[in-house]
């Protein structure tokens, strides 16, 4: 078992707090999981999406919890079992014991599973006194949408840890469209969504209108209404949403996923700040 590779990777994070250490441990596990999925040819059928993909593939500042995927083609018979078994073998090769629970429901389009481990934290040597003691149980949620919206555009990226391997993922405009669907349709405030929004705007990321229109028609307040998302429609609805948010609640949701040095940006969060982001978006969409 090559347990040293886990310690070496952990030390690159230079964790200063217990939260930093737990975020680093979770991200290492996410990368091992992606490597195991790639080894099992999962990415011939599925596409990586969501905030974790921005963190791992594009270096976004905030850490993330879950691994989210959509299938390349709809498949109501898709099953997670073969891939989850492969993860047990992959993690075991690094001395990490997993407990896996498949929570998929046959008549639901999103397949869900959870993996957790108490053994990963035990492998790590925590050099700072304030980090000594039992680490919390590692938990990662998997979700695979078996009936994805149309209009998705994919690209291939490569990771180098724990070994070089390819990943099929959404391109940035499609990722932005998926995040925009969450921003407009989620029934509660999730600050991590808004942090990602500022990341996309800061990079002048275009928006995949076709994918967003299809997602809007599938789920949410506009379901079944055949909405064709345009620039003007999007900007109007986003302004309404921004004016409705409790920004203190949004800050509290995201703060534990940031290093202390990156958290200062949250002090800027307000209706006025996000309306300014929206104006920047207006200028290039």
95 CB-contact burial (10 Å; exposed 0-12 / middle 13-18 / buried 19+): middle
Domain boundaries, the chain: 1-170, 171-285
pLDDT of amino acid 123: 67
Alpha helices in 106-264 (DSSP H): 120-123, 172-185, 191-202, 209-218, 231-244, 247-254
Other Cβ atoms less than 10 A from the Cβ of 86: the count is 17
- Band of residue 1 on the pLDDT scale cut at 50, 70, 90: low
Q: Which residues pair with 142 in a beta bridge?
A: 67, 113
The whole-angstrom distance between residue 213's C-alpha and the CA centroid of its chain comes to 21
pLDDT tens, position by position, 23-33: 999 999 999 99
Instruction: Provide the pLDDT confidence category of residue 129 given band limits of 50, 70 and 90.
Output: very low
Number of residues written out for the chain? 285
pLDDT at 140 exceeding the cut of 70: yes
For tokens 């250490």, name the residue.
21
1-170 CATH, one of 3.50.30.30, 3.30.70.100, 3.40.50.620, 3.10.450.620: 3.10.450.620
Share of the chain above pLDDT 90, in %: 70
Q: Name, of 25-29, 81-85, 179-183, the range with top average pLDDT.
A: 179-183
Residues 41, 75: Cα–Cα separation, whole Å: 16
Residue 125 falls in which region: left (phi positive, over 0), alpha (psi -120 to 50) or beta: beta
DSSP at 278: H
Bridge-based pairing state of the strands 165-170 and 99-102 = unpaired
Residue 15 binned pLDDT confidence (cut-offs 50, 70, 90): confident
pTM beyond 0.75: the answer is yes
The H-or-E segment that residue 116 falls in is: strand 110-117
């Amino acid at each position: 078992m090559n347990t040293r590779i886990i310690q070496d990777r952990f030390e690159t994070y230079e964790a200063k707090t217990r939260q930093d250490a737990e975020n680093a441990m979770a991200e290492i596990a996410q990368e091992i999981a992606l490597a195991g999925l790639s080894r099992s040819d999962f990415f011939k059928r599925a596409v990586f999406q969501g905030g974790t993909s921005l963190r791992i593939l594009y270096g976004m500042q905030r850490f993330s919890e879950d691994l989210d995927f959509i299938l390349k083609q709809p498949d109501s018979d898709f099953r997670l079992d073969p891939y989850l078994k492969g993860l047990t073998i992959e993690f075991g090769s690094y001395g990490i014991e997993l407990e896996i629970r498949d929570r998929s429901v046959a008549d639901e389009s999103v397949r869900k599973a959870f993996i957790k481990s108490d053994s990963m934290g035990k492998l790590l040597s925590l050099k700072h006194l304030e980090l000594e003691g039992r680490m919390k149980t590692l938990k990662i949620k998997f979700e695979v949408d078996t009936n994805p919206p149309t209009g998705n555009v994919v690209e291939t990226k490569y990771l180098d840890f724990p070994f070089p391997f390819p990943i099929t993922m959404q391109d940035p405009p499609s990722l932005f469209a998926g995040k925009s669907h969450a921003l407009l349709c989620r029934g509660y405030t999730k600050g991590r969504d808004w942090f990602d929004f500022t990341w996309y705007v800061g990079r002048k990321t275009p928006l995949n209108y076709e994918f967003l229109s299809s997602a809007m028609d599938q789920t949410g307040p506009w379901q079944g209404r055949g909405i064709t998302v345009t620039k003007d429609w999007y900007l109007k609805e986003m302004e309404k949403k921004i004016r409705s948010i409790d920004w203190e609640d949004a800050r509290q949701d995201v703060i534990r996923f940031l290093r202390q040095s990156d958290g200062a940006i949250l002090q800027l969060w307000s209706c006025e700040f996000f309306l300014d982001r929206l104006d920047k978006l207006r200028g290039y969409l």
